[in-house]
Amino acid sequence: MLGVVLLKILYNESMKNHTSFKIGGPADKVIMPESEEELIRVIQKCRKENVDYFIMGNGSNILVRDGGIKGVVVKIEKNLSNINIEGNKITVQSGALLTRLSKKALKNSLEGLEFASGIPGTVGGAIAMNAGAYGGEMKDVVSKVKVLDKKGKVIEHSGEEMNFRYRGSRVQDEGFIVLEVEIELKEGNYDEIKEKMDDFTKRRKTKQPLEYPSAGSTFKRPEGYYAGKLIQDSGLKGLRHGDAQVSEKHSGFVINVGDATSKEVENLIKVIQKTVKDRYNVVLEPELKVIGEKQKG
Ligand SMILES: Cc1cc2nc3c(=O)[nH]c(=O)nc-3n(C[C@H](O)[C@H](O)[C@H](O)COP(=O)(O)OP(=O)(O)OC[C@H]3O[C@@H](n4cnc5c(N)ncnc54)[C@H](O)[C@@H]3O)c2cc1C
């Protein structure tokens, strides 16, 4: 049905292979378009034939349910990841990893992307989520975004028009597919940029449970609080449901300590939310996106 020539398609593909959580049932199809034109063709075909599709990048902020994903997963990653630098402007395809992009910026002594150097997502995912860390966020550096809109039109928006906010943007509101992004940085000093990046990496390694699969911070930061502290102060550090566990190192992370199922993670999330609500009257909203079907039976 979607047999466009040269397209890379994986059938009945376990989403464990495509998510940083290493969790998830099979997707009917995972398609990895090799060009913007191919990507647009795939989406057009899905829309025309009423096939559900889900756009993913590096799968570092999603929890795929155990029943898998019906329809098509369109994966935009290495397949669409060109980076072009001219002066202090970078034009980058949405599948490029932030880690690679920030290294390129460093190589060119361009300042402003240091915050992104340890975020394991693609540029597309980072625009959808307005990814951020250590006082920086995508909003600060994005000058233009080229997207495919719901009507199938390729349009451009300025950074200001993207309605960037804490862990969200217009991409989520309007179902845009991010194709390409223009990033504007400042000319800086190589050693200073490197020092900042090294410091952030060190802080991540010390504080975050990077040795286990996860989807990063499980919850958004509630106003006036830190999710991890609320969870820890509620006595939930180390709590386990099957192989899903509240990290001992950082209570804001639910980790997969073996072969966790999505159900175990979702149950653990519910327990955390209820305990924190009962104790502190604070609602913890998941940051990760839960997608796919519940397992039957
Ligand atoms: C160890 C670890 C540390 C992390 N640290 C941070 C951090 O410091 N700060 C932070 O903000 N996040 C962090 N994250 C979360 C995650 O890396 C970011 O949210 C990242 O931006 C997600 O990008 P992705 O490509 O993996 O997106 P996915 O997980 O694949 O998708 C996330 C969302 O973006 C959408 N999306 C992806 N690509 C596109 C596209 N091209 N067009 C339209 N929509 C798209 C998806 O549909 C989905 O809704 C961390 C995760 C891990 C595992």
Per-residue model confidence (pLDDT) at position 3: 46
Average pLDDT over residues 61-71: 98
Percent of the chain with pLDDT over 90: 96
Kindly state if the Cβ of 60 falls inside 6 Å of ligand 1. Answer: yes
Average pLDDT over residues 74-96: 97
Confidence of residue 2 (pLDDT cuts 50, 70, 90): very low
Confidence of residue 295 (pLDDT cuts 50, 70, 90): confident
Residue count of the chain, please give it: 297
Model confidence at 1: pLDDT above 60: no
Per-residue model confidence (pLDDT) at position 267: 98
Average pLDDT over residues 96-118: 98
Model confidence at 7: pLDDT above 90: no
Secondary structure of 95-114 in HEC code, one letter for each residue: CCEHHHHHHHHHHCCEECCH
Average pLDDT over residues 1-20: 81
Q: Whose CA is nearest to atom 37 of ligand 1?
A: 125
Q: With contact defined as beta carbons under 8 Å apart, do 85 and 108 qualify?
A: yes
Q: How far is the CA of 121 from the centre of ligand 1 (A)?
A: 5
Confidence of residue 296 (pLDDT cuts 50, 70, 90): confident
Q: Name the catalytic one among 13, 94, 167, 214.
A: 167
Task: Reply yes or no on whether 285 is catalytic.
Answer: no
Three-class secondary structure of residue 172 per DSSP: helix
Task: Reply yes or no on whether 217 is catalytic.
Answer: yes
**Residues 276-290 pLDDT 10s:** 999 999 999 999 999
Kindly state if the Cβ of 132 falls inside 6 Å of ligand 1. Answer: yes
98-107 helix and 190-207 helix, angle to the nearest 10 degrees? 150
Percent of the chain with pLDDT over 70: 98
CA-132 nearest atom, ligand 1: 11
Kindly state if the Cβ of 93 falls inside 6 Å of ligand 1. Answer: no
Model confidence at 6: pLDDT above 70: no
Q: What sign does the dihedral 234-235-238-242 (CA atoms) show? A: negative
Q: How far apart are CA 95 and CA 56, in angstroms?
A: 9
**Residues 19-57 pLDDT 10s:** 999 999 999 999 999 999 999 999 999 999 999 999 999
Average pLDDT over residues 55-60: 98
Model confidence at 62: pLDDT above 60: yes
Kindly state if the Cβ of 147 falls inside 6 Å of ligand 1. Answer: no
Q: How far apart are CA 186 and CA 143, in angstroms?
A: 13
Closest CA to 102 of 88, 91, 112, 93: 112
H/E run at residue 36: helix 36-48
Q: Whose CA is nearest to atom 6 of ligand 1?
A: 119
H/E run at residue 85: strand 83-86
Task: Reply yes or no on whether 262 is catalytic.
Answer: no
Kindly state if the Cβ of 23 falls inside 6 Å of ligand 1. Answer: no
Assigned token pair, 39: 């990507």
Q: Name the catalytic one among 117, 169, 217, 247.
A: 217
Q: How far apart are CA 33 and CA 26, in angstroms?
A: 19
Kindly state if the Cβ of 216 falls inside 6 Å of ligand 1. Answer: yes
Model confidence at 215: pLDDT above 60: yes
Look at the block and give the residue holding tokens 């975004």: 145
Model confidence at 4: pLDDT above 60: no
